[in-house]
Homo-oligomer: A and B are copies of this chain.
Amino acid sequence: MSDSSRIFARYWIESAFPFAQAAEVMAGEQSSGTFVRVPGETEELKNRSAARVESIRELEPASAPSLPGARIPKGTSAPVYRRAEVEVSWPLSNLGPSLPNLLATVAGNLFELQQFSGLKLLDVKLPGAFRDKYLGPQFGVSGTRRLAGVERLPLVGTIIKPSVGMDPETTAAMVKQLAEGGIDFIKDDELQCDGPHCPFDGRVEAVMKVINAHADRTGKKVMFAFNLTGEVDEMRRRHDTVLRAGGTCVMASMNSVGLPGMVELRRHSQLPIHAHRNGWGMFDRSPAIGMSYLAYQKFWRLAGVDHMHVNGLRNKFCESDDSVIASARECLTPMFEGEGRGCEIMPVFSSGQWAGQAWDTYARIASMDLIYACGGGIVAHPGGIAAGVRSVRLAWESAASGVAAEDAAQRHIELRQAMEMFGQ
């Protein structure tokens, strides 16, 4: 069977069992296994459907089991827990190109297997049949740039804060200040969707009135990602409300919405989908269980999101800078080999961001195809919002033209002020 018809998944495992044996348990559990051999389990069927252990690469050993509940081999008194990367593959014909069933196959029961004191999905590689079935991102980088009217620099963005509690009018008043300050992109907080203090429809109406008036006056339409996270029919209706009001982006929380929910939204949507990954810590915070961003984002890109959060350098969360950069790069890397749709999307830098991280972010990803969202970094800038926006834009301009941060700060007061305020 050729590689183009197999699904590959790479895992980090930790086990007191010999790796070959432990990996075969994984492969069995996720394809044709049960705890005793049953009558229907013929050799022919196994040859056709069994998952295959493709490779095992031993890593550093573990001093103790990372997770509780694991078994040790019978007769062992002093178990040694070792770690490895393993690759397992499945025939596509076990499931067909279905994202929900792919999840059950590569990230299902195996996390509970007793043979493992740690098991994490690191990456998946999918046959082109998935690309053929799913719509993927509708706007991606170029469509987002076109709608936002931003050609070369990152979209300079911010998040409406306080996270939740403001009414539509107060929100719109803040949007007015931000628009006048020159912002490209604004998003709802993920906690703000359709609560009684700030109903979705009322917020869209009030905010779009401001954005449309600003666009009429200046020719620049600020992209606002309205958080429509909800049931499928609610999301469709809210999308239509945004579209009718002249809005140019909707936002959904991936883990809240689920893959089929996102697929439905994508089918219906005429706007870019800004995907928020809140709850992501459950999947990736532990090195010993869960799913890496590399694997995670592939599911959602195929489902059709256009922007995906990646935190940012020196963020206020636990994610390391290396992880942030790897995630951002992955969003900009085609998912499939060869010709055609690569499903590239815009990484969204957010969490403790201000002008200061532009230089090393640019140095490390060598791209400006991103959304750079600063909260306090813009609205709490000592020179005001417009100065905050300018500080971020100047930072990226400088970074891209090879002007060092110190030199840029000497030239521009907005950068100097930002560095004094936010640079420790």
Main secondary structure of the interface of A (DSSP, over half): loop
Surface stretch bound by B, among A211-219, A239-247, A260-268, A341-349: A260-268
Docked pose: A107 CA to B255 CA in angstroms: 10
Docked complex: A379-394 residues within 8 A CB-CB of B:
379-380
Tell me whether A197 and B317 are in contact (CB under 8 A).
Answer: no
> With A40-B161, A229-B100, A257-B260 in contact, do A105 and B191 touch (Cβ < 8 Å)?
yes
Is A39 interfacial (CB-CB < 8 Å)?
Answer: yes
Docked pose: A231 CA to B302 CA in angstroms: 13
Tell me whether A279 and B111 are in contact (CB under 8 A).
Answer: yes
Which A residues form the contact surface with B (CB < 8 A)?
A: 30-41, 45-46, 48-50, 67-70, 93-96, 98-101, 103-105, 107-114, 119, 159, 161-166, 170, 174, 190-191, 193-197, 229-232, 235, 253, 255-264, 276, 278-283, 285-291, 311, 316-320, 352, 375-376, 379-380
Partner of A45, one of B49, B165, B319, B352: B165
Docked pose: A290 CA to B291 CA in angstroms: 12
Tell me the minimal C-beta distance from A416 to chain B in angstroms: 18
Docked pose: A164 CA to B27 CA in angstroms: 12
Tell me whether B316 and A114 are in contact (CB under 8 A).
Answer: yes
Write out the residue numbers on chain B whose beta carbons fall within 8 Å of the beta carbon of A375: 34-36, 38
Tell me whether A49 and B164 are in contact (CB under 8 A).
Answer: yes
Tell me the minimal C-beta distance from A391 to chain B in angstroms: 15
> With A281-B289, A288-B286 in contact, do A232 and B260 touch (Cβ < 8 Å)?
yes
Docked pose: A116 CA to B364 CA in angstroms: 28
Partner of A191, one of B30, B48, B229: B30
Known: A31-B164, A100-B230. 12 other contacts (CB 8 A): A34-B162, A35-B376, A38-B376, A46-B162, A95-B191, A98-B194, A109-B190, A109-B279, A111-B281, A112-B281, A232-B232, A256-B260
